[in-house]
Amino acid sequence: MSKLIEFDEKQQVFHLHNQNISYLFSVEKGGTLSHLYFGKRVRSYHGGLTYPKLDRGFSGNLPGDLDRTFSRDTLPKEYSGAGEMDFHSPATIVRQANGSNAVFLHYAGYEIAPGKPKLPGLPAAYVENADEAETLTVKLIDDLTGLEYDLLYTIYRDRDVIARSVKVANKGKESVHLEKVASMQMDLVGQDLEAITLPGAHVNERHPQRSRLVQGRHVFESRRGTSSHQMNPFVALVDPKTDEFAGDAWGLALVYSGNHEFELEKDQLNQLHITVGINEYNFSWKLNPGDSFQTPEALLVYSASGLNGMSQTFHSLILDRVMRSKFKKAPRPILVNNWEATYFDFTEDKLKEIVDEAKELGIEMFVLDDGWFGHRDDDYSSLGDWQVFAKKFPQGLKHFADYVHGQGLKFGLWFEPEMISYDSDLYRTHPDYLMQVPGRKPSPARNQYLLDLGRKEVRDNIFDQMTKILDGGSIDYIKWDMNRHLSDIYESDLPADQQGEVYHRYVLGLYDLFERLVDRYPDILLEGCSGGGGRFDIGMAYYCPQIWASDNSDAIARLVIQYGTSLVYPQSMMTSHVSVSPNEQNGRITPFDTRAAVAMCGDLGYELDLTKMSDEDKAAVKKQVADYKQIRELTQYGKFYTLKAPLDSNEAAWMTVSDDRNEAIVTTVEIMSYAQPYLTKTKLAGLDPDKDYEDLATGQVYGGDELMNLGFYDPTQPRKDFTAKMYHFKAVDQH
Ligand code: DGJ
């Protein structure tokens, strides 16, 4: 096996490389690490990026060294400490007993090991055997405090990704407070890049935003305690010319479900200073002598083939080496969820009618959403009381689950385990479980409050309640929801000087609950959800192979949401349902087949009252379900290409291609209809240029090269708004 990581003693340069990528950094004067390069593979490095020695005014020098041409301020960084002669945002800030925040980190050695270590308490990318990756650990030390920073870098042999994280150990004699510990830092010089970020809102998640970076500090972050609808933990840096198919793209994503911070600081020399990690807002972690702290992992992807290349690297990494679930590559069941059909207003008999209809239509799973527990008839009560609501299920939940199974469907159940209602037995028995600041009234959101998940006792209570429901063995799937963000941050078990730990402890508590759940119930398929796609992140992917992408199920709104999501996350992670028209979130009226075509981009489901549908629509659903079963392996797990991004455009198109390039499903959408339409074309990607492919609907055969270079005209009929068309191509020699 060839080496993936080398250290050149003479040049003092680390070189991490595989067939496609190289990552280089050096050790400079004063034990300073300096970033050199991350991009397309180079065979070896001969010093072309040695940082020029210049005396730059107001960028001072190393302590005790009068060399005016060496400054940590201007040198491209790899991991910097506060208080050094460096005016950029530091990677780490440490408050010490004497009130100082300064550290001076210097290089103190390295180790290279096969494989990739697990990160205690945190989800992270993994390896299945030690040969597939190597991990470099570089040690930085601050002499005065005795803090040791282990910078971990893993490079995979066959994936264009570097995983970075940091472990800080207090080897000193005094306690310190970590006020900031980034997972990674990297400076890029002489590259004029744009940033693509994924901001959004509830029912409007992950709307890609591409911006030029002017001088100054740009921060893309969440302070909501979760990864959030408002800013996904991801940034891509791209050349201004980069598009879906060509150009350089660097994707940075954090494997974390809490407050995050992506800092892009373009400095006075036009150098881009990048720092990614847990948000320093309200973060302060007490590190006693002998203790250590592990940061979440940052994933750094490089693509020389535009955004599609970047996304495909993320997709396969997340599917193959982040998700743990046995369902990660399994055909995802077509489900019907009763939420938009009934909201809280249902009886067992009403649900049985939906189940019966679902069976007729070939649907494979019924998901019982909110309202089955405590005495929950609206969103004012019962969160925290995970016992069945006898009024709705007089013979118990198992009785209903058995009915669903008897009809040949799987049974899924909704939980919102992190929450508590004032009107709940849990609150009446344990008012202290509710997270709140002593002496202050906590803020409600959707009439509900947070549990103090940092406390083991609280987690045990919720887990025990859940096991009582789950041990019955009748549950095939869980939808884990979370319908508010964190406020009133305080943990009653912690002393005053550790209250800065609460946000992160909450996330660690959440991961602990998930760990216990997936360990005990490996046969249950987990779906993540947070008021739609409010916690769509790679940390959650570790536990939940699928996530409800948005409460907005309008097909046209979903085009952008799903495109934004697909920049990082594999399409099988994205659940996507057909709902009624006019849409309940935005009132838009769309054709039924367009709603199905857009939902088939992810894991298809239905979120409507099947019993209220016309016979014509029922026949349509039956056909959609039957057709989807034929193609879902390809749509869910084929290589995903965005052909036309639906941004400022009247069109959208995407496709998935089988690994052997023998089969592809293509979907095109025309948004508005025009009386005198301009003709538009769709060109395919990822096919074998030397093969011929048949369009299975028409029998027409095209060359792969023809489909990719010439393409075909998009339909001009039917003349109506919001039309979609799906194509299925198969290589002719495969018949
Ligand atoms: C928000 C979710 O996104 C919806 O799908 C539904 O489960 C509701 N919560 C239930 O309260």
**pLDDT tens figures, 157-172:** 999 999 999 999 999 9
| pLDDT class of 577 with cuts at 50, 70, 90 | very high
**pLDDT tens figures, 324-372:** 999 999 999 999 999 999 999 999 999 999 999 999 999 999 999 999 9
**pLDDT tens figures, 400-417:** 999 999 999 999 999 999
642: closest CA among 559, 714, 573? 559
d(CA 548, CA 567): 16
Contact present, 503 and 282 (Cβ < 8 Å): yes
Q: Which of 381, 483, 550 to mutate to test the pocket of ligand 1 (most atoms within 8 A of CB)?
A: 483
Question: Coil, strand or helix: which one is 565?
Answer: helix
- Whether ligand 1 lies within 6 angstroms of the CB of 531 is answered as yes
**pLDDT tens figures, 104-125:** 999 999 999 999 999 999 999 9
Q: Partners of 150 in the beta sheet? A: 139, 167
Active site residue 131: no
- Whether ligand 1 lies within 6 angstroms of the CB of 483 is answered as yes
pLDDT of 735 > 90? The answer is: no
Q: Is the dihedral of CA 106, 112, 117, 122 positive or negative?
A: positive
What are the Cα distances from residue 327, in Å, to 257, 541, 735? Answer: 21, 12, 30
**pLDDT tens figures, 276-300:** 999 999 999 999 999 999 999 999 9
**pLDDT tens figures, 181-228:** 999 999 999 999 999 999 999 999 999 999 999 999 999 999 999 999
**What integer pLDDT is reported at residue 436 of this predicted model?**
98
**pLDDT tens figures, 296-313:** 999 999 999 999 999 999
334: closest CA among 641, 630, 559? 630
- Whether ligand 1 lies within 6 angstroms of the CB of 70 is answered as no
DSSP 347-379: -HHHHHHHHHHHHHHT--EEEE-SSSBTT-SST
| Ligand 1 atom with least separation from CA of 550 | 3
**What integer pLDDT is reported at residue 29 of this predicted model?**
97
CA of 319 to the centre of ligand 1 (A): 25
**What integer pLDDT is reported at residue 139 of this predicted model?**
98
- Whether ligand 1 lies within 6 angstroms of the CB of 414 is answered as yes
CA of 456 to the centre of ligand 1 (A): 26
Residue holding tokens 């008012």? 431
- Whether ligand 1 lies within 6 angstroms of the CB of 603 is answered as no
- Whether ligand 1 lies within 6 angstroms of the CB of 339 is answered as yes
Q: Which of 346, 448, 481, 558 to mutate to test the pocket of ligand 1 (most atoms within 8 A of CB)?
A: 481
d(CA 332, CA 328): 9
Show the domains of the chain with their CATH numbers: 10-321 (2.70.98.60), 336-611 (3.20.20.70), 644-731 (2.60.40.1180)
d(CA 603, CA 575): 5
What's the number of CA atoms in the CB half-sphere (13 Å) around residue 106?
Answer: 12
234: closest CA among 251, 217, 257? 251
CA of 531 to the centre of ligand 1 (A): 5
440 class by beta-carbon count within 10 Å (0-12 exposed, 13-18 middle, 19+ buried): exposed
d(CA 128, CA 159): 14
The DSSP H or E segment spanning 708 is: helix 704-709
- Whether ligand 1 lies within 6 angstroms of the CB of 529 is answered as yes
Backbone angles phi, psi at 5, to 5 degrees: -135, 130
Contact present, 284 and 172 (Cβ < 8 Å): no
**What integer pLDDT is reported at residue 615 of this predicted model?**
96
The mean pLDDT of 261-265, rounded to a whole number, is 98
- Whether ligand 1 lies within 6 angstroms of the CB of 534 is answered as no
- Whether ligand 1 lies within 6 angstroms of the CB of 30 is answered as no
What are the Cα distances from residue 302, in Å, to 187, 197, 223? Answer: 15, 16, 28
Burial 571-607 (b: 16+ CB within 10 A, else e): bbbbbbbbbbbebbbeeeebbbbbbbbbbbbbbbbbb
Angle, helices 615-637 vs 592-599, to 10°: value is 20
- Whether ligand 1 lies within 6 angstroms of the CB of 607 is answered as no
- Whether ligand 1 lies within 6 angstroms of the CB of 548 is answered as yes
| Ligand 1 atom with least separation from CA of 379 | 11
| Ligand 1 atom with least separation from CA of 337 | 5
**pLDDT tens figures, 452-483:** 999 999 999 999 999 999 998 899 999 999 99
Q: Partners of 603 in the beta sheet? A: 575
| Residue 270 zone, left/alpha/beta (φ > 0; ψ -120 to 50; rest) | left
pLDDT of 734 > 80? The answer is: no
| Ligand 1 atom with least separation from CA of 414 | 7
**pLDDT tens figures, 664-722:** 999 999 999 999 999 999 999 999 999 999 999 999 999 999 999 999 999 999 999 99
593: tokens are 């087949």
d(CA 554, CA 546): 19
Q: Would strands 419-420 and 209-212 be described as parallel, antiparallel, or unpaired? A: unpaired
Helix runs in 521-661, H state only: 538-541, 555-566, 592-599, 615-637
Task: Say which of 370, 385, 476, 481 is annotated catalytic.
Answer: 481
Active site residue 481: yes
Q: Which of 529, 546, 603 to mutate to test the pocket of ligand 1 (most atoms within 8 A of CB)?
A: 529
CA of 64 to the centre of ligand 1 (A): 60
| pLDDT class of 49 with cuts at 50, 70, 90 | very high
Angle, helices 502-520 vs 456-470, to 10°: value is 30
Nearest CA to ligand 1 atom 9: 531
Percent of the residues in the chain that have a pLDDT greater than 70, as a whole number: 100
Question: Coil, strand or helix: which one is 555?
Answer: helix
Q: What is the pTM of this model?
A: 0.98
Nearest CA to ligand 1 atom 2: 531
**What integer pLDDT is reported at residue 472 of this predicted model?**
86
| Ligand 1 atom with least separation from CA of 479 | 7
The mean pLDDT of the chain is: 97
Task: Say which of 369, 551, 554, 714 is annotated catalytic.
Answer: 551
Q: Would strands 13-17 and 32-40 be described as parallel, antiparallel, or unpaired? A: unpaired
- Whether ligand 1 lies within 6 angstroms of the CB of 45 is answered as no
Query: Cα(first)–Cα(last) distance of the chain, in Å?
Result: 40
